[in-house]
Amino acid sequence: MRMSKLLDKALVDLSPRSSLFKVLLYLAFKGPASPSTISEETGISPGTVRPALRALLAKKYVTQEMDRSYKSKITFTEIVADLYANCLRKD
């Protein structure tokens, strides 16, 4: 799936207020991270981060690396480009 299509799917599929969306954004901006690092740096409890990662993995928005960290398949630059394009459309 092309990355922009994956971002479009995620924006429809995930509520911006959900822990899944927050974890996905964290990974897109920060890069690969372990569940404990995500929890520590976002303040989201480990009991919420781990199920969110499993759900994101099942939806194919993230991958799990060999070192057991998780990585977003949607890039930081793709998110910023989409935000910028939406701002231009509103003007």
CB atoms inside a 10 Å sphere around CB 39: 18
Parent domain of 32: 3-90
Residue 35, pLDDT score: 98
Q: What is the pLDDT of residues 9-54, one digit of tens each?
A: 888 888 889 999 999 999 999 999 999 999 999 999 999 999 999 9
Does the pLDDT of residue 70 top 80, yes or no? Answer: yes
The β-bridge partners of 47 are: none
8: amino acid identity, one letter: D
Number of domain units in the chain:
1
Average pLDDT over residues 55-77: 96
Q: What is the CATH number of the domain that holds 13?
A: 1.10.10.10
pTM over 0.75: yes
